[in-house]
Amino acid sequence: MKFKLLPLAAAIATTFVPMSLFAADAAEVKAVNPELTQPADPLYDRQQPLVLAEGMPIPDTGLKFTGYARYGFHYSDDVNKYVGAMGQSAGNATGRLGNEGNGGEFQFTKAFIADNGAIWDVAVMLEHWSDNVGLKKFYAGATNVFESQPTAYLWAGRDFHQRPQQGLNDYFWMMHDGQGAGVYNLGLGDIKFDISGVAQASSGTGDSGNYAITTKLHGISVGAAGTLSFLANYGFESDQYYSEADEDAGDGIEGELKNANKSDAFQLAAVLDSSWSMGGTQLILRYAENADNGVFWKTEDLTTWYASFSGNVKSSETFNTEYLVAYHNADNSADVSQSRSNYSAIVRPMMTWNAVHSTWLEAGYSLVDYENAGENSAWKVTLSQNVSFGLAGARPMIRFYATVGSADNEVASKPYQAEQDTLALGAMFESWW
């Protein structure tokens, strides 16, 4: 293995890709709905749909322009620009700092307050994560419309949906973006309940034929241990699609299903959020049959498990450390070549020098153990120097970074190489607003 010097460079990136929110800032979001935050990161859950609530601040114009974006250059001296083990399945398992590409999401939201006290919002979002700009969201929602359930938020349209994300590995451990309808924050005493029906969007404006029923029970206090949430999802396929050849035959025989191997899938998960005097932690456990992180994408005879433990330790006002360890297992009895386990660990100490400048260092390791083949592994270290809007990693942020890492893939296929040592230099801005 050859080694390369880590040049002096700088600046880290955000720990996640937040969605654009209607609320003006994180403080407002937390005040309205504390469950949109997590102790390890005060903006943790901004990938979730915004849930309006009575008393939420409404701009004078009722219109907000919000979003998230990161753009810059990334130079690498190897075939693969970024560092990872082939087959890793726990997101960006060696860490995302200095190891991620460009893109953004841009949203306009209009809010209305009805004479009867109901609060409505209509939102549209465009995204740019590839060569094309696409319509990611277009929905309407309302709260304070049911007398017996004043906190319930009713929505319909196309939206981000049930996409909890972890920051250090940029992993959406569930994702069901689509178009549908549902209700959030149905009150069951001190506990809240969410339920929605969502269709995966096709390349046009219609449905792909994949559907999901998603549920979440949250706000369950377990005393000093923290707050507990449970999620359960069911995915299924429509049988309304027939082969065009049979329909054109005109023989009166019902056409053969396009989805001849139609299947269903389900997920179960539990999340425990805890806080203490110097930080917070989050424990995630997820199980799925015929699916991985989304029940839209189904694979017969696939069973997956995901477990992670993450958090932060704030040693002082100027020094903070984030960490994450994760395990992902995929057992495919129909195709054993895809059965594997991914073990990963990431740590990111961060030093804040003043209200503008900070230095971050991120180290990550990923191991992929194939059941009947071999092992792939990768490690990465990134140093970044940041110029930011304010303390504690506030955005906008401009960062200058250098990454050094290595991958050893015993089980490799193009474009991966069996062995690769990587040196990367880059500069990037990141912002959410």
| pLDDT at residue 242 is higher than 60 | no
Residue that wins the pLDDT comparison between 88 and 26: 88
Q: Determine, yes or no, domain membership for 45.
A: yes
Q: Determine, yes or no, domain membership for 200.
A: yes
**Mean pLDDT score, 123-145:** 92
**Mean pLDDT score, 269-273:** 98
Q: Determine, yes or no, domain membership for 54.
A: yes
Q: Determine, yes or no, domain membership for 5.
A: no
Tell me the whole-structure pTM to 2 decimals.
0.83
Q: Determine, yes or no, domain membership for 6.
A: no
Q: Determine, yes or no, domain membership for 13.
A: no
Domain count, the chain: 1
Q: Determine, yes or no, domain membership for 21.
A: no
3-class secondary structure for the chain? Answer: CCCCCCCCCCCCCCCCCCCCCCCCCHHHHHHHCHHHCECCECCCCCCCCCCCCCCCCCCCCCEEEEEEEEEEEEEECCCCCCCCCCCCCCCCCCCCCCCCCCEEEEEEEEEEECCCCCEEEEEEEEEECCCCCEEEEEEEEEECCECCECCCEEEEEEECCCCCEECCCCEECCCCCEEEEEEEEEEECCEEEEEEEEEEECCCCCEEEEEEEEEEEEEEECHHHCEEEEEEEEEEECCCCECHHHHHHCCCCCCCECCCCCCCEEEEEEEEEEEECCEEEEEEEEEEECCCCCCCCCCCCEEEEEEEEEEEEECCCCEEEEEEEEEEEEEECCCHHHCEEEEEEEEEEEEECCCCEEEEEEEEEEEEEECCCCEEEEEEEEEEEEEECCCCCCCCEEEEEEEEEEEEECCCCCCCCCEEEEEEEEEEEEEEC
Q: Which domain holds residue 196?
A: 26-432
Q: For residue 304, what is the domain's CATH number?
A: 2.40.170.10
Q: Determine, yes or no, domain membership for 350.
A: yes
pLDDT tens digits, one per residue of 30-64: 223 333 233 333 222 334 556 666 666 666 666 88
